[in-house]
Amino acid sequence: MHTIFVSWVLLGLLAACAGRQAEARAFLVFGDSLVDSGNNDYLATTARADSYPYGIDYPTRRPTGRFSNGLNIPDLISEHIGSEPTLPYLSPQLTGQNLLVGANFASAGIGILNDTGFQFLNIIRIYKQLEYFQQYQTRVSALVGPEQAQRLVNEALILITLGGNDFVNNYYLVPFSARSRQFSLPDYVVYLISEYRKVLARLYELGARRVLVTGTGPLGCVPAELAQRSRRGECAVELQRAASLFNPQLADMVNSLNNQIGSDVFIYADAFRMHMNFISNPQAYGFVTSKIACCGQGPYNGVGLCTIVSNLCPNRDLYAFWDSFHPSEKANRIIVQIILTGSNEYMNPMNLSTILALDSKT
C-alpha cells in the first residue's frame, strides 16, 4: 500500500517535470566560435575544437567542438532557462523531440561578411545559418504542425554573436588586407553595421521575436593580439579602436530596429564592458591573469592553436582566457551572470531575467 502511494507520487512528479520540460522555451543560436557548440566538427574546415585538451572540463571530459575548456555561453544560458544544451544543427542527434529544445547554427570562423574567414574554407556563413533556420522550421512543422512551429519560433529565445572575425579574420588578418585597402576603419565599421542590420532584419522576418545581440569583446586584449601586437602587455590599440567604433554603432542600430518594429525584439549585450571588468581587474574575479591563455604557446600562450603539445594550465578556473581567443568556462559564467542580471549599461533595453519574467506573463 505504502509503496503504491509512493509510486503514484513519483509518477505525478515525473509527469509534472515532463510537462515543464516540454514547455521550456526553445533556444536558437547563431554566430561564430564564441557560441559554436560543434557544427564545425561535421565540416571540412581548419576552424575546429575537436581534440584534446578542448572539453577537458566538459561533463564528459571530451572535446565537443566547443571553443572552451568546458561549457560555453549558450550552454550556460540553457542551464538558466532550464533546458538541455542545444545541439549543433549538423548533429545527427538533432531529430524528433530534440528539435523542440532548439538548435545551434553557429560556426567558428564566420563573420557578418561573406568573405570573412575565407581561409577556414568550409564554414557555415551567416546567410547559410539563416537558410538552415528556415529548414529547421520546416522540420519542426512536420513534427508538431505549422501553428505550433510558428509559436515555437516566435517564443524562442535567440542569441547571435557576430563581428569579431570581421576584424580579426578579415580587416586585420594580414597587413594591407583587401578590406583595409578598400575602407578606412570608420567606413568599414559603418559598412559592417549596415550589413549586420540586414541579417537581423532577416531573422525578424523568419519569426525571431527575442534576440540577444552581443557586441564584440575587447579584441585587442586577447592573448593572441597581445602576442602579435603588444609591446608590454597593453591591449593592442588598433583592435581596441575597432571594437570601440563597432559596439556603440551596433547598440544604436539595435535600438533603431526596435523603433522601426515598434517592439523590443533585439537586446544589445555589451560584451566589451562585461569582459573589461575582469580584464582590468582579474584578481577581483578570482583569476591569476587575464593576459596569459591557459592553453597555447609563445608569449602569453597566444601564438598558434591550443593542441595536445601546448602548455596547459592545471586549474582552468584561474584563467580568464582558455585559448588565445576564447574565454574559459569560468569567464563565460561571469559573462552570463551579467547577461542575466546586468543593469542597462550592460543589457539594453533589459537583462535576461527581465525578459524571462516578462515573457512568462504573456
Ligand X SMILES: *[C@@H]1O[C@H](CO)[C@@H](O)[C@H](O)[C@H]1NC(C)=O
Q: Pick from 114, 138, 154, 263: which binds ligand X (CB under 6 A)?
A: 114
Could you say whether residue 51 binds ligand X (CB under 6 A)? no
Q: Which of 300, 336, 321 is nearest to 80 (CA)?
A: 336
x/- mask, ligand X, residues 55-94, rule CB under 6 A, reads ----------------------------------------
Residue that the C-alpha cell 604557446 belongs to? 297
Catalytic residue among 41, 57, 75, 326: 326
Could you say whether residue 182 binds ligand X (CB under 6 A)? no
Could you say whether residue 353 binds ligand X (CB under 6 A)? yes
Choice between 197 and 241, CB closer to ligand X: 197
Q: Is 33 a known active-site residue? A: yes
What backbone torsions phi and psi does residue 316 show, to the nearest 5 degrees?
-65, -25
Could you say whether residue 134 binds ligand X (CB under 6 A)? no
C-alpha cell, 10:
513519483
The distance from CA 155 to its chain's CA centroid, rounded to whole angstroms, is 19
Per-residue CA distances from 310 to 30, 295, 304 (Å): 30, 6, 9
Count of CB atoms within 10 A of residue 178's CB?
Answer: 12
Q: Which stretch binds ligand X (CB under 6 A): 19-27, 95-103, 208-216, 341-349?
A: 341-349
Per DSSP, 84 falls in state P
Site for ligand X in 193-212 (CB under 6 A): 195
Catalytic residue among 33, 290, 310, 324: 33
Catalytic residue among 78, 323, 324, 328: 323
Minimum CB–partner distance for residue 293 and ligand X (Å):
31
Long-range CB contact pairs, 337-343, < 8 A, 24+: 338/274, 338/277, 339/73, 339/77, 339/212, 339/269, 339/274, 340/80, 342/274
Q: Is 115 a known active-site residue? A: no
Residue ranges binding ligand X (CB under 6 A)? 114, 127, 195, 341, 343-344, 350-351, 353-354
List active site positions. 33, 323, 326
